Structure 1
Amino acid sequence: MPRKKAPTTKIYVLDTNILLHEPLAFLSFKENDVVVPMTVLEELDYIKDSKKDVARDARVSIRAMEDLLHDATPEDMIQGVSMAGMTAGESAPTGTLSIFTDLTMDASQQVFTSNENDNRIINVALHLQKARAPRQVVLVTKDINMRLKAKGAGLAHVEDYRTDQLISDIKYLSKGYHTFEGDFWSNVKSVDSRTEGRDTIHTIPRKVLPEAYINEFLLDETGHFAGLVESMDDETMDVLDLGYERLMGRHAWGISPKNIGQALALHALLDPHIDLVVLTGPAGSGKTLLALAAALEMTVERNMYDKIIVTRSTPEIAESIGFLPGTEEEKMAPWLAAITDSLEVLHKNDENTKGSMNYIMEKANIQFKSVNFMRGRSLQNAIVILDESQNLTASQLKTIITRCGEGTKLICGGNLAQIDSNYLSAVTSGLTYIVEKFKNFSGSATINLDGVVRSRLAEFAEEQL
C-alpha cells in the first residue's frame, strides 16, 4: 500500500474501464497516489488477448505500467513506485503507482463476499479507506451501477473519469452558428466593408459577439443575413457575407438544402479550405445524405479528390465481422447500409437505380472500411466519411484524424442521443470532445442540424418519444 503522506493528497483506485477508456489514465492524477487492484490486471490480461475492439487499449495500458514498474521489487510494487518523470508539463504526475493484491484479502476485510470482479475492486477501496484514514480514498469508474454499489457499501468518494470532458452539460456544446435576435445590422454600430473578388467582407467590432470563434456562422432571426467568421483579433473580426438566399440556392449532386442548417452544412462540406467538418444532430436531419452528396460532387464532378472512404465503428464489429463472408468491404456492408440507402435516394429517379449506384461507386472509388483497420494508414487526397462517430472515445477519434494526410477531408457525423457504448455519455463522447477542441481551428467547421427532414413520422417520433 502507498506510504503515508500528508492528508492533502488522495489515493485513487482505478477500475478496469478507466484504463480501457484511456490507457494512460493512471498518469493523470498529478500529485496523488494511484492504486490498481490485481483484479484489474486480471481483467486487462483477459481483454488484451480477446477480439474486442478495446484489446489494443488493454495492451497499451499494460505496457505503460510495465515500463514504470519493471525494475520495482515486490515490496516497491505494494508500497508504490514514483511516477515522476513519466510525462512532462504542468500536469505531470508526481505521486506513486502501486498494485494491490486484493486476491489475498482476508474475508473479514471484505464487505462483499461474492467473488465478482466489481465487488473485489470495491472491497479494495473500502479497505484502503479504513486503513489509510484520514487520507481520502476515491474509486474512479465509468460504471454507473458500480458507483451506486460502492456508495451503498459505505465508500465516501466515488467519481467518474473526466479529464477528457470539456463541458458539464450537452446544452453548452457549440452548435457552429450563432443567431442574433432581430436584424443582424441592428446589433452592429460600426462596420467597414470591402470587396475581395466576388466576396464581401465586413469588419465589425469584436464586442458584437465576444465569444465568437473561427468558422462560426452568424445568422439573424429575420432570415436576411448569413455570414461566417473568417478571422479576428482583440478588437475586430472579419465576417464573410454569405448571403442567405445564395446559401439556400446551393446544391450538390442534385440535393438542395431544406433548411438553413443544411445550407450551412453544405457550405462547409463544399469548402476546400475546411479539412474537418463535424455534423451533429438528431436522426433524420440529413447528416449522412449531405456528406455523401457533397463527397460525390467534389470527387466526381469537380475532380478534387481521388476516392471516398466510408467508415464507422459499432461496438460489436470486432467480434462479429469475422463471421461474415466475403471481403472486408462485403463484411462491412451490413453496418454501412446507411450509406447505400443514401446512395439509393440520390439516384432514385434514374432509369436504372442499381446500375447507377454501381457505376458511381466505381467512378468515385467508394471504399468501405472498418475503423479497426484504419490504424497505421496514411490517407492521401481522399474524402473520409466517419459515420456514427458518437460511439468513439477521444483517443479513438484521434487515431482516425491523425490518419489524414495531405489533401484529405474528414467528415464526422453523429447523433449524441444514440450512444451505444457502455462507458460513454453525451458529454464524454469523442464527438463532443473534438467539437470543443477544434472550434478554434481555422481548418474545421461544426454544424448542429436541428431539424428532422426525413419524414413527418420521424420528426414526431424525435420530439415525442
Structure 2
Amino acid sequence: MTDDGIKHYVLDTNILLHEPLAFLNFDEHNVIIPMVVLEELDNIKDRQKDVSRDARVAIRALEEALHDATPEQITEGVPLTRVSGEHQAVGHLSIFPDFQLRQQEAVISLNENDHRIIQSALEVQRHKAPEQVILVTKDINMRLKAKGAGVKQVEDYRTDQLIDDIKLLTKGFYQFPGNFWEQVKDVESEQDGRETYHYVPLDIFTTPFPNEYLLDETDSFAARVESYDSKRVKIQDIGRERLMSQRAWGVSPKNIYQAMGMKALLDPTLDLVILTGPAGCGKTLLALASALEQVVEQGLYEKIIVTRSTPEIGESIGFLPGTEEEKMAPWLAAITDSLEVLHKNDENMESSLNYIMNKANIQFKSINFMRGRSIQNAIVLLDETQNLTASQLKTIITRCGAGTKIVCSGNLAQIDSYYLTALTSGLTYIVERFKNYHGGATVNLNGVVRSPLAQYAEENL
C-alpha cells in the first residue's frame, strides 16, 4: 500500500445498475471499470425493463466523465473532479481493456462476463501491487468466485447501508423496563380536546423519534412521541385499553403491536406508514382493513392502489397474459386472500368482493409503471418492500402527491433478490431514513398471529 493510502476499486455491472452514479462515491480513491461492464450496460439499456433506465443513466454519467479524454488518458485515469454536480470524488476513473486478456492464458474461463471482470481485477491487482485493489460487487456468488480465483479484497457496495447490524433497526416503539411513571420525576400535563399530553424529561429516553410508540411492563401505559427539544419530550397519552379497542373494517388488533400499527394506519396526519415483521404477523390484513375503512367508510381517500415487487426484482411481467391488473394477480394473491378473510362471513362472498373492489376503487399496479405518475388522493399499499432497492422505493414514494398515504410493508427474513441483504434492502433504508420524519411512523409487528403452526415455523425453521 502506498503512503497516500489510495485504493483502486474495480466495479461490477450490478453496482452501476444498483446506483448509476456509484463511481462518484469513492472519495479520493480510483475507480476502474472493465470494458465488459460497458458491454453489459449497452445490452441492458434497450431492454423493456425498469433496470434499463439505470443503465442509460450510468452510460450518460460515464460519458460525461470521460468526454474529450484521449484513449491513453481513459486507460490511465481521468480526474473525477471534472464531473459536475454535488459529490466528493477527487480520484480517477479509468476503463480497463479486458478484451486484451482474451489472447492470454487465463486461469479461469473468459466465456462468462463475471469471469472477465474477475480476470480484470486479477490483472489490475498484479499491475498495481502492492497497492490495494478491491473488487466491488453485489453478487454474493461472484464474491466467492473472485476470492477463490485469487482476488485479495472483495467487498459489497455499502454506501446505502445505514446500520451495521439488523438488530439496530428502528422498531418504531420503545418498551421501558418496569413502570414508566415511576421513572419520571418531573412531568407537566395539558389537555387538548379529548387528547392528553405530558411533557417529560429527555434524559429518561435513549433516542426519541417522532411518532415513536412508548410502552412499559404494566398493562395500562401506552403513549406516542409527539415532539421533543433539547430538554423535554412531549408525549400523547394513549393507553393500552384505548389502543386495543380500535376497529377498522370489522378487524380488531390481536396484540399491542397490531394496535400500534392500526393507530398509525388510521392516523390522517401520517402520510407514510412502514410495517415490518415476520410472516403471519398481520401486516397485509391490517393495511387493507385500514385502507378500506378510510376509503369506503370515512371517505378520506378516493382509491386504493396496490403494488408490490415481483421475484425478478421488479422487472418484467410481460410473459403473463392479460391486462396489467391480470398480469399482477399472481403476485398480489396476498391482497385477494386478505379480502376474502375480511368478507368470509358474508352471505355471498364473491358478490361482496366485487362490490368492494368497485366501491373502494381498488387498482392493482406494477411498480414498473409507477415511474412518471403523480398519485393523488389515494392510499398506496406497497407489499413485499424487502425485495426493493432504495432507488426503487424512492421512485415510488416520490410519486405520491397531495392527499396520498403510502403504506410500505415487508419481512426482512424473506428477501428473494440476489443482490440484497437485510442490511442493504430498501425497506431497511427507508426505515432508517424516515425515522425522524414527523409525517411518518414505523411499527414492527412483533408476533405471529396467523396460526400456531405459522408461529412455530417462524420461530424454529
TM bracket, shorter-chain basis:
over 0.9
Give yes or no for the alignment of 1:228 onto 2:230: no
Structure 1 pair 51/167, CA: closer, same or farther in 2 (3 Å)?
A: same
* 2:74 paired residue number: 77
The answer to whether the aligner puts 1:434 opposite 2:430 as a matched pair is yes
Moved more, 308-317 or 256-265: 308-317
Per-residue CA distance 1:54-97 (angstroms, 9 max, x = gap): 222222211211222232222221121211153555x5211111
1:223-253 CA-partner distances (Å, limit 9, x unpaired): 2100000000011000000111000000100
The correspondence for 2:243, drawn from 243, 247, 252, is 247
Conserved 8 A contact 1:78-1:100: yes
User: Percent identity at matched positions?
Assistant: 67
Counterpart residue number, 1:445: 441
**Superposition pairs for residues 171-186 of structure 1, below 5 Å?**
171-186=167-182
Match of 1:360 in 2: 356
Q: Tell me, yes or no, if structure 1 residue 38 matches structure 2 residue 35.
A: yes
Q: Is the CA contact (8 Å cut-off) linking 2:244 and 2:256 kept in structure 1? A: yes
Q: Distance in 1 between matches of 2:111 and 2:3?
A: 34
Counterpart position of 1:203: 199
List aligned pairs for 1:341-352, cutoff 5 A. Answer: 341-352=337-348
TM-score by length of 2: 0.97
* CA displacement, residues 276-300 of structure 1 (integer Å, 9 cap, x when unaligned): 0000011110000000000010111
State the 1:41 CA deviation: 1.1
> For residues 160 and 440 of structure 2, what CA distance do their matches in structure 1 show?
20
Distance 1:109 1:215, change over 3 A: farther
Separation in 2 of the partners of 1:204 and 1:40? 56
Amino acid aligned to 2:132: Q
Q: Deviations over 1:322-341 (max 9, x none)?
A: 23232211111111111111
Q: CA deviation at 1:199?
A: 0.5
Instruction: Report what 2:25 is aligned to.
Output: 28
Q: In terms of mean alpha carbon deviation, does 67-76 or 403-412 score higher?
A: 67-76
| TM-score of the aligned structures, taking structure 1 as reference length | 0.96
2:329 and 2:64 mapped to 1: Cα distance? 41
Q: Match for residue 369 of structure 2?
A: 373
More displaced 10-residue stretch of structure 1: 317-326 or 136-145: 317-326
Aligned to 1:359, what secondary structure does the other structure show? helix
1:9 is displaced (CA, Å) by 1.1
Structure 1 residues 49 and 416: alpha-carbon distance in aligned structure 2, compared to 1, 3 A threshold: same
Kindly indicate whether the alpha-carbon contact (under 8 Å) linking 2:215 and 2:223 is maintained by their aligned counterparts in 1: yes
In 2: Cα distance, 1:333 partner to 1:461 partner = 27
Q: Which amino acid is 2:375 matched to?
A: L
8 Å Cα contact 2:64-2:83 kept in structure 1: no
Let me know the Cα RMSD of the aligned residues. Answer: 1.7
Q: Deviations over 1:344-366 (max 9, x none)?
A: 11111111111111111111111
1:317 CA drift (Å): 7.8
Gaps of 5+ in 2: none
Among 183, 187, 190, the alignment partner of 2:183 is 187
Query: What is the aligned partner in structure 1 of residue 53 from structure 2?
Result: 56
- Is 1:109–1:127's contact at 8 Å kept on the other side of the alignment? no
| Structure 2 residue aligned with 1:340 | 336
- Amino acid across the alignment from 1:269: L
Matched, 1:67 2:59: no
Q: Tell me by how many angstroms 1:320 deviates.
A: 5.5
For 1:296 and 1:173, the matched residues in 2 are separated by: 30
2:8 maps to which residue?
11
Residue 424 of structure 1: SS of its match in structure 2? coil
Rounded Cα–Cα distance in structure 1 between residues aligned with 2:245 and 2:61: 54
C-alpha distance in 1, partners of 2:320/2:103? 47
The aligned counterpart of 1:213 is: 209
Matching of residue 312 in structure 1 with residue 308 in structure 2:
yes
CA contact (8 A) 1:280 1:448 kept: yes
Structure 1 gap ranges (5+):
none
In structure 2, the CA distance between the partners of 1:217 and 1:85, relative to structure 1 (3 Å rule), is farther
Kept in 1, the 8 Å contact 2:314–2:388? The answer is no
Asked whether the 8 Å contact 1:7–1:134 carries over to 2, the reply is no
| Count of residues paired in the alignment | 461
Q: Return the letter of the residue paired with 1:135.
A: E
Which of 321, 324, 328 is residue 328 of structure 1 equivalent to? 324
Structure 1 contact 125–139 (Cα < 8 Å) conserved? yes
